[in-house]
Amino acid sequence: MRITTPAIVLALRSHGEHGAVVRLMTPAHGLQAAYVRGARGRRMRPVLMAGNEVEAQLAARTDTQLPQAMVELTHSRGPLLQEPLPAAAIEWACALTATALPEQQPYPQLHSALDGLLTAIEAAPAASGWGTALVRYELLLLAELGFGLDLAECAVTGRSDELVAVSPRSGRAVSAAEAQPYEGRLLRLPQFLLQGGQAGWADIADGLTLTGHFLSRDILTDRSQPLLDARGRLVERLRRAGGLA
C-alpha cells in the first residue's frame, strides 16, 4: 500500500521510545492509522497536533501491516490550542472522529464537514459563530454511521410544520401539538437545524443536548466515558460563555 494524501491530524499515541501512532482523517481513504518516526521530537511535535492539516505519505508492505508515514505540515491550528474554548472544541471533534469511525472506510462528507468545522472555529471571533457547525457535524457523524435522526416530519402526524421536539427513543421529530402532553420527556429541536443559518446560545445548547444524547447512546460505549466527560466540560464552557449556566 502506498498513499499520498492530504489529511487532518486527529490523535497521537506514543509508540516506542521516540515514535507514535498518528490517526489521520483523509478525504478519499477515511481514517488511517500510521507509525511516524520521531513523532515526539522537537521538529514533529508541532506538526502532529490535533486539527492540523498535513500532506501524508503512507506505505506498508501488506494490507495487514501498520503503515509508516511521512508527514509534512500544510496548515497549523496550533495557536488556537492556547485558547480554552477553541482548543476544547478542536480536541473533542478530532477525538470523536478518531474514536467513532472504522478505519480505512471513506467518509468524504465527514472529512469535508470536519474541515469546515475547524475552519469555522479558526475564523469565528466567538464560539457562537461555530457552535452550530459543531452540532451539524455531530448530526452528520451519526447519520454516516447509520444512526441518523429523522427531522423531516412529525413521527405522529407525518406533517412537516411546527416541529419542535425529538423523541429520545426513536430520534424522530415531533410537532408542537403532539409534543405538548410529553413536555419534559422530549428533546428540544432547535430551529436552525430545520431552517439553516446561525443561532443563539440557547439553541446551540439545545442542539448539543440533542446530539449528545444519541452519541452517548449509539456511538460511544462505556470505554469512551473519558471522552464523554471531555464533551461535558466543553458544553459547560459553552453554556457559561453564553451566560446560560
Sequence letter at residue 80 = L
What's the CA gap between 105 and 31, in Å, rounded?
7
pLDDT of residue 245: 65
CB-neighbour burial class of residue 2 (10 A; exposed 0-12, middle 13-18, buried 19+): exposed
Task: Walk me through the domains of the chain, giving residue ranges and CATH numbers.
Answer: 2-78 (2.40.50.140), 124-241 (no CATH)
Task: Give, for all 245 residues of the chain, the pLDDT tens digit.
Answer: 899 999 999 999 988 778 899 999 999 999 999 999 988 888 999 999 999 999 999 999 887 889 999 999 999 999 998 899 999 999 999 999 999 999 999 999 999 999 999 999 999 888 999 999 999 999 999 999 999 999 999 999 999 999 999 999 999 999 999 999 998 899 999 999 999 888 999 999 999 999 999 999 999 977 788 898 889 999 999 999 888 86
What's the CA gap between 74 and 42, in Å, rounded?
17
What's the CA gap between 167 and 100, in Å, rounded?
23
What's the CA gap between 19 and 40, in Å, rounded?
6
The x, y and z cell numbers of residue 67, run together, are 503503515
SS3 track for the chain: CEEEEEEEEEEEEEECCCEEEEEEEECCCEEEEEEECCCCCCCCCCCCCCCCEEEEEEECCCCCCCCEEEEEEEECCHHHHHCHHHHHHHHHHHHHHHHHCCECCCCHHHHHHHHHHHHHHHHCCCHHHCHHHHHHHHHHHHHHCCCCCEEEEECCCCCCCCEEEECCCCCEEEEHHHHHHHCCCCEECCCHHHHCCCCCHHHHHHHHHHHHHHHHHHHCCHHHHHHHHHHHHHHHHHHHHCCCC
Interstrand relation of 53-59 and 2-15 (parallel, antiparallel or unpaired): antiparallel
pTM: 0.95
The answer to whether residues 80 and 86 touch, using CB atoms and an 8 Å cutoff, is yes
The x, y and z cell numbers of residue 198, run together, are 446561525
What's the CA gap between 55 and 6, in Å, rounded?
4
